[in-house]
Amino acid sequence: LVVLALFAGCAQSQRSSHSGGDPQWALAIHGGAGFIDPNISAEGRAAYENGITEALRHGADRLAKGDDAIEVVETVVRILETNPLFNAGCGGVFAADGTVKHDASIMDGRDLSCGATTGTTTVKHPITLARKVMTDTRFVFLSGEGAEEFADGTDVERVDNSYFQTEPRRRDLEKRLRTDAGGTVGCVAMDTSGNLAAATSTGGLTAKKWGRIGDSPVVGAGTYADNRTCALSGTGEGEQYIRHAIAHEVHALMLHKGWSLERACNHVLTDVLKPDDGGIIGVSSTGELITLTNTPSMTRGKADSTGRFEISIWED
Ligand code: ASP
């Protein structure tokens, strides 16, 4: 059992569209569901905790300053994409052909605008390209060569594919293993105006082939945001999340059945998905936060304007 509760000490925002005890802003992040050995070395554990803490702290500070949720989820995911521990950006898992290919999506709950990319190999921050698809095109989802061609016309940073490649991930490919820790990253946020946003970024599954696309860039499967209900980011067996349209399912249960975020997420994790399929993080329109998984571990964090700042890896 690992739960760290730290106090953020962030100033509370002056603006609020919420009343009563609801938080004025709220944030959750994940660094992937899967299996991290509870007997991991102290340094190994600290590395995960530090990675999550750094991203959560940055997002919390930005939201406390009044930044937009969409801005914050992109920035937080960029931080996680830079950390080689996580399966996104640098440190993404290898596809069967020996390259790292990224999937990412982002969604703005204000107007359901969204953007996604799949199979990119030279874009340093796939989440930023996904956001540009959202803001600079009339399309939602770009793939492979087309996404790279679109990137050519933007100012997004480009790198050689070797930038993403790490030795532990190469060993995973040699063993054809699903990476121990999963490691996909995601962020959901509610800002001080009550707007919701979600972002998810991943290298997908080790040894993926034939242009396999997981749930992370599929809006409604691995990512969803609608100001009326919630913002969500999933991690786990992408095929299951696509099959059951997991993120949209949670949104729909809240919208049409009036369920709470927690009830809807518990339902999909226990009654829809199979044990060990994965996890989900969410924030509701009232600032309720959930980080739940049906796998042995999920690196995750929650923070809000009431001073909550919690990170965990195993069961709470
Ligand atoms: N959901 C991701 C995928 O299937 C992988 C993960 O979250 O570990 O591509």
Kind and range of the H or E element at 216? none
**Ligand 1 pocket, CB under 6 A:** 32, 182, 184, 202, 204-205, 214-216, 222, 235-236, 238
184 has catalytic annotation: yes
Give the whole-angstrom CA distance, residue 298 versus residue 3.
12
pLDDT of residue 85: 95
Give the whole-angstrom CA distance, residue 183 versus residue 82.
13
- Token pair belonging to 192: 């001080």
Alpha-carbon separation of residue 11 from 64, 130, 175 (angstroms): 6, 31, 48
Using an 8 Å Cβ cutoff, are 294 and 277 in contact? yes
Give the whole-angstrom CA distance, residue 271 versus residue 195.
29
Count of alpha carbons within 13 angstroms of residue 142, beta-carbon side: 22
Using an 8 Å Cβ cutoff, are 228 and 255 in contact? yes
Cα dihedral 50, 76, 109, 123, rounded to 10, equals: -130
pLDDT of residue 95: 96
Ligand 1 atom, smallest distance to 103 CA: 9
Name the active-site residue from 184, 206, 229, 291.
184
Q: Give this prediction's pTM.
A: 0.93
Residues in the chain: 316
DSSP letters spanning 218-271 = SBTTTEEEETTTEEEEEEE-HHHHHHTTHHHHHHHHHHHH---HHHHHHHIIII
Ligand 1 atom, smallest distance to 208 CA: 9
pLDDT of residue 142: 98
Burial string for 83-108 (b: 16+ CB within 10 Å, else e) reads bbbbbbbbbbbbbeeebbbbbbbbbb
262 CA distance to ligand 1 middle (Å) = 22
Give the whole-angstrom CA distance, residue 39 versus residue 41.
6
CB atoms near residue 28 (< 10 Å): 29
Kind and range of the H or E element at 133? helix 126-136
Ligand 1 atom, smallest distance to 178 CA: 8
66 CA distance to ligand 1 middle (Å) = 31
pLDDT of residue 7: 33
Which portions of the chain are predicted below pLDDT 70?
Answer: 1-20, 177-182, 316
**Closest residue (by CA) to atom 8 of ligand 1?**
182
42-64 and 69-82 helices cross at what angle (nearest 10)? 160
Using an 8 Å Cβ cutoff, are 51 and 31 in contact? yes
pLDDT of residue 255: 98
